[in-house]
């Protein structure tokens, strides 16, 4: 009974997860959510080595699981292709792959620098392609796997002055569906989560700028930004996105395949 109860509390015990772009924001929240369910987690992202080491210690202490960092600049195809092999070399397996790393460029399409277009696609789409193609053989062989791509509502709708971001997130949703069909007869699933505005550092930085320029409080600026897109008037927290990712890794989600699930305060319901 004790073992059964433990499995219910920590259903991912014994599993290994790789979460890209996980040194802050949605990725870090996802690392916490998976570790809380007993999963060993390999985080990935850029940052100061001391800060990353501290994050690993914090996660490991909070959840009593093995936490490591795997370095790779995912804008570089060779490094992106080598990330999963790093994990396999250290752990011997990879059960959960969360492609969260991403970037964007804002501005009209006619002024979009071509090199930035390529960089956005390299990180938002190409990196996911490389991690998926290198992770799938092992997942198939071990008879279980979860792939979750963090897309965006902009993967399901258009947007102004963010052409590369919209196009790349649509491509990521398309990749998700293609992989889901290729794995449909297997115990490996592939889905996308599509958040609206999320309360990350970028959101708070934009709210701070608005507050300073308009002479309003930061709270009022946050509400104004949220209400621009989100009928709920509230932004999504990284923890809410992470909870959905964790659910997609559960047995209850065995037959959720190829979905692009919005977490958007009714943004797309209009």
- Catalytic residues, by residue number, are 165
Element (H, E) at 198: none
Task: Report d(CA 69, CA 24) in Å as an integer.
Answer: 13
At residue 24's C-alpha, the angle toward residues 254 and 77, to 5°, is 75
Task: Report d(CA 11, CA 63) in Å as an integer.
Answer: 13
Do 23 and 46 touch, CB atoms closer than 8 A?
yes
Within 10 A of 76 (CB to CB), how many other CB atoms are there?
Answer: 15
Task: Report d(CA 115, CA 124) in Å as an integer.
Answer: 14
Cα–Cα separations (whole angstroms), residue 210 to 66, 107, 147, 198, 225: 41, 18, 37, 17, 9
Task: Report d(CA 217, CA 143) in Å as an integer.
Answer: 53
Q: For residue 54, what are the contacts with CB-CB under 8 A and spacing of at least 6?
A: none
Spatial CA neighbour of 7 closest among 254, 260, 265, 250: 250
Task: Report d(CA 40, CA 248) in Å as an integer.
Answer: 17
Task: Report d(CA 116, CA 108) in Å as an integer.
Answer: 13
């Amino acid at each position: 009974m004790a073992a059964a109860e433990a499995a219910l509390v920590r259903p991912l015990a014994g599993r290994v997860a790789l979460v890209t772009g996980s040194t802050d924001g949605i990725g870090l929240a996802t690392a916490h959510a998976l570790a809380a369910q007993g999963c060993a987690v390999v985080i990935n992202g850029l940052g100061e080595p001391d800060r990353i080491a501290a994050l690993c210690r914090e996660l490991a202490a909070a959840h009593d699981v093995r936490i490591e960092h795997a370095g790779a600049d995912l804008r570089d195809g060779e490094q992106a292709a080598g990330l999963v092999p790093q994990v396999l070399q250290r752990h011997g397996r990879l059960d959960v792959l969360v492609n969260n790393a991403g970037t964007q460029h804002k501005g009209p399409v006619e002024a979009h620098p071509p090199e930035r277009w390529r960089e956005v696609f390299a990180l938002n789409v190409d990196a996911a392609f490389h991690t998926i193609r290198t992770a799938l053989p092992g997942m198939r062989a071990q008879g279980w796997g979860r792939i979750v791509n963090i897309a965006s509502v902009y993967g399901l709708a258009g947007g102004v002055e963010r052409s590369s971001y919209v196009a790349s997130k649509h491509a990521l949703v398309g990749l998700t569906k293609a992989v889901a069909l290729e794995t449909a007869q297997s115990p490996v699933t592939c889905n996308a989560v599509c958040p609206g505005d999320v309360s990350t550092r970028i959101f708070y930085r934009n709210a701070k700028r608005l507050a300073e320029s308009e002479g309003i409080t930061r709270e009022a600026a946050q509400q104004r930004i949220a209400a621009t897109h989100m009928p709920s008037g509230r932004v999504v927290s990284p923890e809410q996105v992470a909870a959905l990712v964790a659910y997609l890794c559960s047995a209850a989600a065995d037959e959720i395949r190829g979905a692009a699930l919005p977490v958007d305060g009714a943004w797309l319901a209009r």
